[in-house]
Amino acid sequence: QITLEQSGPTLVKPTQTLTLTCTFSGFSLSSSGVGVGWIRQPLGEALECLALISYDDDKRYSPSLQNRLTITKDTSKNQVVLTMTNMDPVDTATYYCARSFGYGYMDAFDFWGPGTAVTVSS
Amino acid sequence: DIQMTQSPPSLSASVGDRVIITCRASQNIFTYLNWYQQKPGKAPELLIYAASRLQSGVPSRFSGSGSGTDFTLTISSLQPEDFATYYCQQTYSGLRTFGRGTKVEIK
């Protein structure tokens, strides 16, 4: 059974750094074709993919946010961590982690965490 | 970046209706296109991957088609549990970008 759990703050102050942890079970991030991504969604708005890390440590970032984002994995702990620096109220959103599975260009987020609602306010 | 444009942004339909949602990519993405369903307060769920392949456990009333730049998601007979927001996502280039969603509401 594949599950993803998320942990991290629900309230951060402007200019602070957000650190979110995704702890998963039921799959290994060292297996071919597997990745974990972070996606966010402001209230009432669309999904935005922020970052993706693959089994081979390939990392991809949103072009508009890449200077603020870092994604890392700890395969032994089954965890993926996303940090986002210099948080601003416009970053208020629900943040999801999700497993990506597939080969070549044919992949999809097939399992999702429950989401963490993050508010940026002083 | 590849831009994904969904239409319509929202629609009203009745139970039993056939519903078609379209997604257009700003460049050729072959069949590297997924569809997700999201209900309020919940994480999205994968419905269709690679444009037309039904994810395990998804009812057969959902189907996807298209290639290149134009894609459709069809719900053959809308059920009460299908009222939700639907997103397309490309996986061809760079980070996986989503469309802005289509909200399916009860008429």
pLDDT at B78: 97
Average pLDDT, chain B: 96
Residue B15 to residue B79: CA distance in whole angstroms: 5
CB B16 within 8 Å of CB B78: yes
Q: Tell me, what's the pLDDT at A41? A: 98
C-alpha of B89 from chain center: 8
Please, which pLDDT band fits residue A114 given cuts at 50, 70 and 90? very high
User: How many Å apart are CA B14 and CA A31, to the nearest integer?
Assistant: 44
Residue A15 class from Cβ within 10 Å (0-12 exposed, 13-18 middle, 19+ buried)? exposed
Task: Residue A4: list chain B partners with CB under 8 A.
Answer: none
B62 at interface of A, judged by CB pairs closer than 8 A: no
Contact call for A46 and B101, based on CB within 8 A: yes
A23: confidence class by pLDDT, cuts 50, 70, 90: very high
- Note the pLDDT of residue B9: 97
Residue A104 host element (H or E): none
Instruction: State how far the Cα of A92 lies from the Cα of A121, in Å rounded to an integer.
Output: 9
**Cα–chain center distance at B5:** 11
Tell which residue, A79, A76, A69, has the closest CA to residue A99: A79
| pLDDT tens column, A58-103 | 999 999 999 999 999 999 999 999 999 999 999 999 999 999 999 7
Determine if residue B99 is left, alpha or beta; phi over 0 gives left, psi from -120 to 50 gives alpha, anything else beta: beta
Of B30, B46, B95, the CB nearest to A108: B46
Q: What average pLDDT does range A43-59 have in this prediction?
A: 95
Beta strands in chain A (DSSP E): 3-7, 11-12, 18-25, 34-41, 48-54, 59-61, 69-74, 79-84, 93-103, 106-112, 116-120
B 82-101 near A (Cβ less than 8 A): 87, 89, 91-92, 94-101
pLDDT in tens, chain B (107 residues): 899 999 999 999 999 999 999 999 999 999 999 999 999 999 999 999 999 999 999 999 999 999 999 999 999 999 999 999 999 999 998 888 999 999 999 88
- Nearest-CA distance B65 → chain A (Å): 15
- From chain B, the residues in CB contact with A113 under 8 A are 43
**Using beta carbons and an 8 Å cutoff, which residues of A are at the interface with B?**
37, 39, 46-52, 60-63, 96, 98, 100, 102, 105-110, 112-115
User: Is A63 in Cβ contact with B94 (below 8 Å)?
Assistant: yes
* Contact assignment for B98 to A48 by CB distance below 8 Å: yes
Pairwise CB contact (< 8 Å): A49 & B98: yes
pLDDT at A104: 75
